[in-house]
Amino acid sequence: MGYEKAVVKSMGRIEARKLGLALLVGCCLVILSYFITMSETPVDGQASLTFTVGANGDAEDKISRVQPEKEKIAVEEPNKSISTVSHVILKDNNSELRKQDETVLPPKKEEPQVIEMPRPPLTESICDFSNFRTEFCDLKGDVRVHGKKKAASAAVVLLSPQRKAEEYMVVPYVRKHMDNIEKVAVRTVQAPHAAPACTASSTVPAIVFALGGFTGNYYHDFTDVLLPLFLTAHEFHGEVQFLITNIQLWWLGKYRPIFEKLTRYEFVDLDKSDDVHCRSHVLVDLRFHNDLIIDRARAPNGISTPDFSRFLREVYSLPRERAVSLRAHPERRPRLLLVARNGTRRFTNMPEVAQAAEAAGFEVVRADAEFGNVAGFVEVVNSCDVIMGVHGAGLTNFVFLPANAVVIQIVPCCDLEGMAEHTFGAPAKEAGLLYLQYSISVEESTLLESYPREHPVFTDPQSIHRQGWFKMGKIYLGRQHVKLDVDRFRPILIQAMDHLRQ
């Protein structure tokens, strides 16, 4: 009996060992077959295991397959919750999912997802201060402009609950550092009671700007007001009104044809107005790119410097659009306008200069503009093919020349070439004209009558320039005249004639 028990016990141990070994081998085979199956499954369609845990802790093995399309969405939109990726539950066709008698634990509550709405971009400022010369404001909406008759200064107010509060004191002139131009208050308000009540309403846009500054100088009339005004008002095709501070009636009368071409409405004198002018679009100050230059890339409607010249020819009904072509009309003598200055920087040998121009084949025209008679003088300018003169405001008349004409600037001594190029050289080129520049020698300057040849005025001009504009201008612009060396200058006249022969 004891032996049988021992045999039975020994056999039980053997059977247990066999059973354990069989189970171990079976598990290994299952694991091996699983990995083989996984290695043969395409990446986009690999199966994944999911587990549903019941209250009793049993796990139901379920196989789910991720849809490739949804998985792609999850990758492309990483900010979305992973719950947006859906699964398709698969089961064996020969079996049904076992019903769970146990109470299933409720799914874990997810934290409420906070959805942050996109914020609107910051509203652009109503004013642009990036230009080195100007301050320019563009206001659209409920805009109210009141004059300074009953206030310390004129003001432009934009009523807009959606905009941030802004307030600036703007110089309405293209030289923002001018001290003699009164500033205009420009601001935005959110509450209706903070804006002045309308007394004069119109649907016509308005431009607020100032006269004064350097206006009255022929060059500055064009570079500080007339060209910037054309650049700013042109896009409105006459449907715009000018609200002006520091009115100078004589000046407006002088250029009245230009103003009448830019607006169909009478100007408003803001200094004497106590009305509140309500508009939907108001510009404060004038657009400005550079002196006598319009940058086509930045200009409304892509206008350019030649467009300004065409505009002026239209204003004054000037007939000539192009300079003479000596190739087509070899018998013609091109007309050369010799600008005669009565003050500083004048030719001391004008008859000799005129004779040299005539010897080169030009018909020389000597004419002076009468005060206020712009129309009469610009007709003379337009009839010419070349304008020539010492650096000064008279050369501004190149804006009335026909296309393909020539501008010859005589640059006084000493080191004034950069200023001369900026003032008339670059603008003339932008206008489609040939620009020729002649710098006089020390021997051609009347400064030799005031300073010895070895003086720093001649030997070190930059030492004078470094003392500032007024010191430099007093010597080189205020005390200097030109005695032109016609032999040295003659190649410039020949170059101008050759250009007209092309």
Q: Give the model's confidence band at 99: pLDDT under 50 very low, under 70 low, under 90 confident, else very high.
A: very low
Closest CA to 408 of 442, 383, 432, 433: 433
How far apart, in whole angstroms, are the C-alpha atoms of residue 32 and residue 46? 17
Residues 321 and 284 in one domain: no
Whether residue 447 lies inside any domain: the answer is yes
Closest CA to 271 of 143, 181, 179, 194: 181
Give me the residues paired with residue 167 across strands: 187
Residues 230 and 336 in one domain: no
Whether residue 474 lies inside any domain: the answer is yes
Backbone angles phi, psi at 201, to 5 degrees: -110, 150
- Strands (DSSP E) contained in 101-258 are 127-128, 136-146, 155-159, 167-170, 184-189, 200-201, 206-210, 241-245
Residues 408 and 387: beta-carbon distance below 8 Å: yes
- Lookup result for tokens 């467009």: 307
57 or 225, greater pLDDT: 225
Whether residue 49 lies inside any domain: the answer is no
Q: Give the model's confidence band at 139: pLDDT under 50 very low, under 70 low, under 90 confident, else very high.
A: very high
According to the model, what pLDDT value does residue 42 have?
A: 38
Residues 348 and 447 in one domain: yes
> How many structural domains are present in the chain?
3
486 alpha-carbon distance from chain centroid: 45
CA angle 358, 359, 361 (to 5 degrees): 65
pTM of the model: 0.74
Instruction: Quote the tokens at residue 143.
Output: 């805009």
Residues 488 and 375 in one domain: yes
Whether residue 14 lies inside any domain: the answer is no
How far apart, in whole angstroms, are the C-alpha atoms of residue 132 and residue 271? 27
8 or 480, greater pLDDT: 480
Residues 339 and 379 in one domain: yes
Whether residue 179 lies inside any domain: the answer is yes
With the C-alpha atoms ordered 151, 153, 158, 163, is the resulting torsion angle positive or negative?
Answer: negative
Instruction: Quote the tokens at residue 96.
Output: 């049904």
Whether residue 15 lies inside any domain: the answer is no
27 or 128, greater pLDDT: 128
Residues 344 and 195 in one domain: no
Q: How many CB atoms lie within 10 A of CB 280?
A: 15
User: Minimum mean pLDDT among 149-158, 254-263, 367-376, 428-437: which range?
Assistant: 367-376
Residues 147 and 70 in one domain: no
Residues 334 and 423 in one domain: yes
Residues 142 and 67 in one domain: no
Domain encompassing residue 255: 127-288
Instruction: Quote the tokens at residue 88.
Output: 């398709």
How far apart, in whole angstroms, are the C-alpha atoms of residue 34 and residue 27? 11
According to the model, what pLDDT value does residue 244 have?
A: 96
Residues ≥6 apart with Cβ < 8 Å to 500: 323, 324, 325, 326, 334, 385, 386, 406
Please provide the DSSP assignment of 25-58 as one string. HHHHHHHHHHHHHHHHS-GGG-EEEEEEE-TTS-
Read off the pLDDT of residues 149-195 as tens digits, 9 standing for 90 and up. Answer: 767 788 999 999 988 888 999 999 999 999 889 999 999 999 999 99
Instruction: Quote the tokens at residue 168.
Output: 């600036």
Read off the pLDDT of residues 246-296 as tens digits, 9 standing for 90 and up. Answer: 999 999 999 999 999 999 999 999 999 989 999 999 999 999 999 999 999
Helices first, then strands: H and E counts in the chain = 15, 18
How large is the average pLDDT for residues 106-135? 65
How far apart, in whole angstroms, are the C-alpha atoms of residue 382 and residue 323? 9
Residues 283 and 384 in one domain: no
Read off the pLDDT of residues 30-82 as tens digits, 9 standing for 90 and up. Answer: 454 544 444 443 333 333 333 333 334 443 333 333 333 433 333 344 443 33
Q: Give the model's confidence band at 421: pLDDT under 50 very low, under 70 low, under 90 confident, else very high.
A: very high
Whether residue 44 lies inside any domain: the answer is no
Whether residue 326 lies inside any domain: the answer is yes
Please provide the DSSP assignment of 369-392 as one string. PPTT-HHHHHHHHHT-SEEEEESS
Closest CA to 339 of 326, 322, 357, 360: 357
Residues 164 and 245 in one domain: yes
Residues 429 and 395 in one domain: yes
Query: Helix, strand, coil proportions of the chain in percent (round to 5)?
Result: 35, 20, 40
Q: How many CA atoms lie within 13 A of 346 on its CB side?
A: 9
Closest CA to 351 of 343, 340, 342: 340
